[in-house]
Amino acid sequence: MSISRRHFLTIAGAGTAGSFLLSGLENLYGNTRSTVKSPIVRGYGALIKDPNGILDLPAGFSYQIVSRTGVQMSDRSELPSNFDGMEAFTGKNGTTILVRNHELRPSAKSRVIAATELMYDPNCAGGTTTLIVDSNRQLIKEYVSLAGTAVNCGGGKTPWGTWISCEENTQMPGVPDFRGAVSKPHGYNFEVPVNSQTPVNPIPLVAMGRFRHEAISVDPRTGIVYQTEDDPIGLFYRFIPKQPGKLATGGILEALKIVGKAQVNTKQNFPVRQKFAVEWVRIEEPNPTGNTVKTEGFTKGAAQFMRGEGICYVNGSFYFTCTQGGNPDLNVKLKAGQETRGTGQIWKYTPSQTAKNGGSIELFLEPNDTNIVDMPDNITLAPNGHLITCEDGKGEQRLIGITPQGGVYTFARNARDNSEFAGSCFSPDGRTMFVNIYDPGLTLAVWGKWMNT
């Protein structure tokens, strides 16, 4: 039986002999185009094959299915597919509230359904559903909470108890394409109050920009919202609200510029673990009818990032992924005409503590090896201080753990199919990780002993 190097690394993670093998592999599979290696660490050890063929986990961890596509929800509508970004909030009486995106195109057969007057665009199939889960990880209630939006990919939670759902589609009325026709402009963020048990009145947060939104994260100290853009030449944005906690009142949209590197494309050959000072350029037209805001930002010197995706706040900094950043797998010799996509990057932005316009950015991780990380997407902070990122690669799909020092390990593997993981998040008490398998959609609860750093 042949065995892939990725499977070898997973198996080698168990035991002392495995640890020895991995320490040697760190140099072999490190990032040869930088001075910083991408160490493979043992993590929680080898994965155990799931007899039910759903989710492979390390010893000491368990899972159960909380929700699945196609069931009738509490509001009597059918639960749609394409489970994507998600976040967990504190509910009443020890419950956890989950708000979950459905990344559905306007033409999708599976649809988030609500009364017409509660749909932003009746032509569109996307939106969010909300789940209430008890302390035993059992589903209590499930219902539509946002409807009539397009390609709701990522998003983020706010400190004031709402979920920001992000549209990745920037279609305009009268310009149909393979996704289907729309009746209103798209490419906005929408706010979903966690405690609303009926579909919200969908109001586009226009001042936050019309672009291919992926995810957001709020600085709890300032209320500033940081935003990623899932575009090969996307930018990294911040939104400074007029009133923190009240995004609909408007504010200022800005894009990140690296000092001394105007209009730099960070996709390839960028130094790892080297800090660069940043400044921010103002976007004067956050809601253009033609080109999206990246055009204005880049003209003013903003840096380009290769498909910015998940983002999370960690101790005063923001970590965000670029799914196709970096170089092709350095261990695979490409033939003429073969795909040259990068295998993924993770960036770290730290706002200045003293100057509103300052801060620094560094490329935190770029293995250039699909066996270490293959297209990182959603990202979240685990209770032990590790990052957990969902892969959206070309082969088997994994949940990847990353230590504060940059050590990388496999935490879980999709044993069912090659559908991506999405929406990883933790219950408020830190005991349970919730995560989606994209399509056919499953929401899973995972628990065990989350080790200390």
Q: Is 67 helix (H, G, I), strand (E, B) or coil?
A: strand
Q: Is 374 helix (H, G, I), strand (E, B) or coil?
A: coil
Backbone angles phi, psi at 234, to 5 degrees: -75, 170
Closest CA to 251 of 216, 189, 209, 213: 209
Cβ–Cβ < 8 Å for 86, 423? yes
74-95 exposure pattern, b = at least 16 Cβ within 10 A, e = fewer: ebebebbbbbbbbbbbebeeeb
What CA–CA distances, in Å, run from 235 to 78, 211, 275?
A: 36, 10, 18
Q: What is the DSSP letter of 305?
A: B
Within 259-414, strands assigned E span: 276-282, 308-314, 317-322, 345-350, 360-365, 376-381, 387-391, 398-402, 408-414
Which pLDDT belongs to residue 395? 82
Token reading at 188: 């906005």
d(CA 105, CA 354): 43
Global pTM value: 0.91
Orientation angle between helical segments 5-12 and 15-28, nearest 10 degrees: 140
Burial of 182 (0-12, 13-18, 19+ CB in 10 A): buried
Q: Residue 304 forms beta bridges with which residues?
A: 265
Q: In this predicted model, what pLDDT tens digit does every residue of 297-335 receive, in sequence order?
A: 999 999 999 999 999 999 999 999 999 999 888 777 766
Which pLDDT belongs to residue 34? 40
Count of CB atoms situated within 10 Å of the CB of 307? 26
Q: In this predicted model, what pLDDT tens digit does every residue of 81-91 receive, in sequence order?
A: 999 999 999 99
Which pLDDT belongs to residue 2? 32
Closest CA to 364 of 320, 329, 328: 320
d(CA 139, CA 26): 42
Q: Residue-wise pLDDT tens for the chain (453 aa)?
A: 333 434 434 433 433 333 323 333 333 233 333 434 558 999 999 999 999 999 999 999 999 999 999 999 999 999 999 999 999 999 999 999 999 999 999 989 999 999 999 999 999 999 999 999 999 999 999 999 999 999 999 999 999 999 999 999 999 998 877 778 999 999 999 999 999 889 999 999 999 999 999 999 999 999 999 999 999 999 999 999 999 999 999 999 999 999 999 999 999 999 999 999 999 999 999 999 877 799 999 999 999 999 999 999 999 999 999 999 998 887 777 666 666 789 999 999 999 987 778 899 999 999 999 999 999 999 999 999 999 999 998 889 999 999 999 999 999 999 999 999 999 999 999 999 999 999 999 999 999 999 874
d(CA 406, CA 91): 34
Domains of the chain plus CATH, in order, are 5-330+341-447 (2.120.10.30)
Burial of 316 (0-12, 13-18, 19+ CB in 10 A): exposed
Q: Is 370 helix (H, G, I), strand (E, B) or coil?
A: coil
Which pLDDT belongs to residue 175? 81
Locate all alpha helices (DSSP H) within 233-328, ordered by sequence.
294-299
Gyration radius (Cα) of the chain, Å? 21
Which pLDDT belongs to residue 329? 82
d(CA 449, CA 452): 9
Cβ–Cβ < 8 Å for 294, 235? yes
Q: How many residues does the chain have?
A: 453
Q: How far is CA 3 from the centre of its chain?
A: 30
d(CA 441, CA 453): 32
